[in-house]
Amino acid sequence: MDIVGKNVERLDARAKATGAAKFTVDIREVGMLTAKFLRSPYSFAQIVSVDTSEAEKMPGVYGFVDQLDLVGRTTHHDILDDKIRFFGEAVVGVAAETEELALEALEKVQVTYRVLPGVLDFESSAKEDAPRVWPGGNVATWRGASPVSQGSSLRWEKGNTQEAIEKADHKVSITVKTHTQFHGALEPHACTASWDPGMEVLRMNISSQGVYGNQEDIASSLHLNLDQVQVTAGFVGGGFGSKAHNTCKEYLMSAILAQRTLRPVRYEPERSEECITALRHEATFSYELAADNDGTVKGISMKAYRVGGAHTSLQMNFLLGSTEYVAPTYLRSPNVCYEGWSVYTNMPLCAAYRGFGYFEGGIGFAEAVDMLAEEIGMDPVEFLLKNVPVKGDPVSTDQGPLTTAGIRETVQACADAIRWKAKYHVPGGRKLPDGRMHGIGLCHAMGRATLPNFVTSGNATVQVKMDGSVRVFAGISDIGQGQATAIKQIAAESVGVPFDAVSVTWGDTVAPHTGDQVASSTTMMTGNAVKLAGDDARRQIIEVAARLLKEPEENLQVKNGFVSSIADPEKRMPVSAVIKSPGVKVITGNGNWSITDIQASPRSLVVTACEVAVDTETGKIQLLNMVQGTDCGRAICKTRVEGQLDGVLSGGVGYVLSEDCAIDFKDNGRILNLNLYDYKMPTALDCVDILQPGIIMEFPDEVGPYGARGMGEATLSASAPAIMNAVYNAIGIRFEATPLTCDKVLKAIKAKQNKESI
C-alpha cells in the first residue's frame, strides 16, 4: 500500500505544537457570557423552590435556569424530575458578563431543599428496604430501574459451570474490590452555546467524545429537530471515556441560557467541579476458576457487583464490559458463567474509563489465573499459552468467531522481551542487591474493537473536488489518538490520491452519523465506512475516466492522483481533469458499515509484562521495567500505535499504585481530593524506570479496513493486574483490593511477618 502503514505527520501536529489549536476552553465570542452553577450540598434532595429575584437585580446578570426548568427533560438516559441525586449536582445556572459577577449572583440565590435519605455504596443500595434513587428501584437493568427482589442486572452461561468446577482437579477462588478513579483529562467538560433566533439553530462546541449523542440529547430535551442543533468538538483535551455518552446537565442548562439571553454562553468547570462530573466507580468481583492437571481450563465463574452512580447513562454497558468482555473471552473454556449487578447510588455519574469495564473486571481475573497456574504447578506464561483463545474460537455472549489471530504470539513476544524464563521465580524468591524484593508478572487483556449494529453504524462521505483534492466527512471526535489522521490515510489509500491531497471534517455533526469515539471501535466502524466511501468515489472516477481515456473500466487504476491504464501506465490523466470534465465538477462517495457480534468478534489485545521492586521497610513499590505488546491487525501508522501503548503510564500504572478518590461517606459522599495536587496522578518522572518500545504484532483482521483493528482502550487494561501479580511474586502476598499504596502494602508485610513469627 502507498499510504496505509506509513508513518505520516499527524493532521493536528502543527496546530498543537505551535499552540494554534483551539480547544473548547479557548473559544471566545463577542458578547459571550459566562455560565456558573450553584451546586447541591446534599446527596439526595427534592427542590421545593428557587428564588433568584435578588440576583436578577444585579447589573451584568442576564439569565437563570434551575432544576425545576428541567423537569421532564432527558439527560444521561434519565427523565429529570425535581430531585437532585448527588453531592455537587448542578441546581441553578446563571449567565453573567464575568465569572466574578456570576459567582456573586449565585450567592444571592435562595434554594429550599427537602433532604431525602440516600444510598452511597453497593451494600446500602442493595438492601431490600433501601431508599430508592429512582422510583423503579435501585438495580439497573436493560429495561430500567428494578427492585432488588427481582434479582441481578444480567446473567449468562454456557455449559454447566458449577458441575465442571466441582469435578476439576484444581480450583481457585478470589474476591477483589477495585476503587474509584477520576479521569483527569487536562481539558474539563467545557461547552459553548449560541442560539440563532432567526434561523432557529443552536450551535454548540463541546469537549466531547460523542457529538452525535450530545446532539440527540440536547435536541430532544429542547424539542428541536436534529438539524436545528449543530455540535462540534474540533480539538479535545483528553477524554478517556468520561466524555462519551455524557451529555452533562450543564450543557443543557447552558443551551437554555443561550436561548433565554440571546447571547453566546460559555461554561468551563473548575477542577473541583470537573472531579465530580464522571468517575470510574468502585466495584467488587468474585471469581472461581478450575482446571485439570494438564492445565486445561474446565470452568470459569464470575460475579460482578458495580456501583453505577445516580444516573442510568451506560451502567448496563459497563457491567456487560466487566463480565462479557472477560469471562467468556480471555481464556478458552467449555463452561462459563457470569452474573452481574449494577446499582444506582447517590454518587456522581459512572462513566467509561479506558477499558470499558474489562479493566476493572480483568484485575481479579488475572490474579485468579495466576493462582490457578500456581495451584497446578505451571509457569504462568505456559498456562496462558495453553489456554488463550485462537482465531475462530467462539467468544463473547453471542459466541461470534474471534478474528484476532496473534494472542499467543504477543504473549510469547512480551515474555521474551522481559526475559521471563531467566527472571521468573517462586514468590519471595529473589532479593535485589539493595535489599528490596524483586517481582515479575505478565497478563493479557482483550476488549472490543467494534460495536454491534444495534448500537451504531459507521457512516462517511468522501468528496473529490475539481483540483483533485479530497474532503472526508467523518464526524468522530479526535481526543488525542490521531484518529482523524488515520481517517485521512485510509481515504487517501482508497481513493488513490496523495496523503496531502486529503482534508478531514471531524468532530462535527454536519458529517454523517458515525457513532461515538469509544470502545476502540473507530478504526473499524468509521475506518471501514471511509474506505467504502473512498472505494465508491474511486469507482465513479474510473467510470468517467473510462470514457475520456477510451479504456474499459476494468483496465484502469487510480494511484497518486492519476487515473492510468494498468497495461500502459503512460496512458493517464490527473484526477482533477476527470472532475473538471463536462457534467461532473464534483464526485461524492458514500460509505456505510456495520456488523453483528454473531458474524464476527474482533477483539483488541494488549499484553503487559513488568518487573517491580518492593521495599519491605516502607511498602513502596517501584516499577522497574515494563513492556506492552499488541496485535492490532495492521497498523495504520505505527508511531500512533506506539503512542497508545505508552499511554499505560498514566491511567493504568497510576490506578494501581497511587490514584484514589478520598470519599467521605459520612458527609453525603463528598470527594475530598478535588484537585490535581491531592489526587495523586503519576507523571512521566515517577511511572517506570524502563518502558521498553512497544511490541506491535500484525496479523491482518479480515473485518477491519486494510486488516486494521482498534486497540486504544485495551492498552491500559493489562497493566494493573500485571503489577498486582508482580507484587505477589515479590513478597508472596495476594492483595484483594486496590490501590497498592505504601501504607496498605506495609501493613500486609507486617501482618505476614507477625504471623510467621508466631
- Indicate if 512 and 624 belong to the same structural domain: no
Instruction: Establish whether the linkage from the previous residue to 427 is cis, with ω within 30° of 0.
Output: no
* 625 part of a folded domain: yes
| Side-chain half-sphere exposure of 629, counting CA atoms within 13 A | 26
Q: What is the CATH number of the domain that holds 557?
A: 3.30.365.10
Q: What range defines the domain where residue 176 resides?
A: 119-181+278-379
Residue 709 near residue 602, CB atoms below 8 Å: yes
Q: Are residues 585 and 627 in the same domain?
A: no
Which residues carry out catalysis? 713
Place of cell 449494577: 342
**577 and 487 within one domain:** yes
Domain ends where: 551, 566, 593?
A: 593
251 with 320, same domain? no
Q: How large is the C-alpha radius of gyration of the chain?
A: 27
Could you tell me if 297 and 266 lie in one domain? no
**Are 217 and 74 within 8 A, CB to CB?**
yes
In the prediction, which pLDDT does 597 show?
86
Distance CA 679, CA 692 (A): 27
Residues 667 and 649 in one domain: yes
Q: Are residues 612 and 725 in the same domain?
A: yes
Please answer whether residues 525 and 456 qualify as being in contact, where contact means their C-beta atoms are separated by less than 8 angstroms: yes
User: For residue 209, what are the contacts with CB-CB under 8 A and spacing of at least 6?
Assistant: 233, 236, 239, 241, 243, 244, 477, 479, 516, 517, 518
In a domain, 9, yes or no: no
User: Are residues 270 and 230 located together in one domain of the fold?
Assistant: yes
Residue 413 domain flag: yes
Nearest one of 507, 527, 686, 722 to 606, comparing CA atoms: 722
Phi, psi of 523 (to 5 degrees): -60, -40
Please check whether residues 224 and 299 belong to one and the same domain. no
- In terms of C-beta distances under 8 Å and separation of at least 24 residues, what long-range contacts does 559-565 make, across chains too? 559/2, 559/496, 560/2, 560/496, 560/497, 560/498, 561/468, 561/496, 561/497, 561/498, 561/501
| 472 within some domain | yes
The DSSP element (H or E) to which 379 belongs, if any, is none
Name the DSSP class of 153: S
Burial letters 468-503, b for 16+ CB under 10 A, else e: bbbbbbbbbbbbbbbbbbbbbbbbbbbbbbbbebbe
Check: CB of residue 476 under 8 Å from CB of residue 526. Answer: yes
Q: What string of DSSP letters covers 224-275?
A: --GGGEEEE-SB----TTTTSS---HHHHHHHHHHHHHTS-EEE---HHHHT
d(CA 394, CA 213): 32
Do residues 369 and 289 make contact, with C-beta atoms less than 8 angstroms apart?
Answer: yes
Same domain membership, residue 334 and residue 253: no
Residues 6+ apart with CB under 8 A from 68: 47, 50, 82
Structural domain includes residue 15: no
**In the numeric block, which cell numbers belong to residue 521?**
471501535
* pLDDT at res. 650: 73
**Are 315 and 341 in a shared domain?**
yes
Cα angle 22-23-27, degrees, rounded to a multiple of 5: 75
Q: How far is CA 174 from CA 121, 290, 725, 734, in A?
A: 21, 12, 13, 10
Q: Is residue 300 part of a domain?
A: yes
pLDDT at 553: 97
d(CA 358, CA 341): 15
Last residue of a domain, one of 593, 624, 648: 593
Cα angle: 422, vertex 423, 427; to 5 degrees: 135
For the chain, how many structural domains are there in total?
A: 4
For residues 90 and 76, give the distance between their C-alpha atoms in angstroms, rounded to a whole number: 14
Q: Does any domain span residue 538?
A: yes
Q: Which of 573, 593, 613 is the last residue of a domain?
A: 593
pLDDT average per 10 residues of sequence, the chain (758 residues): 94 94 96 98 98 98 98 94 98 98 98 98 97 97 94 97 98 98 95 97 97 96 97 93 93 98 98 95 97 98 97 91 95 98 96 90 97 98 98 93 97 98 98 98 95 89 98 91 94 98 96 88 95 98 97 97 95 97 96 93 96 98 97 95 87 92 96 94 86 96 96 91 98 97 97 87
Q: Could you tell me the CATH number of the domain that includes residue 35?
A: 3.90.1170.50
- How many CB atoms sit inside 10 A of residue 416's CB? 15
**302 and 404 share a domain?**
no
In terms of Cα–Cα distance, which of 665, 513, 573, 543 is closest to 87? 665
Backbone angles phi, psi at 349, to 5 degrees: -55, 135
What's the confidence (pLDDT) of residue 683? Answer: 84
Q: Is residue 10 assigned to a domain?
A: no
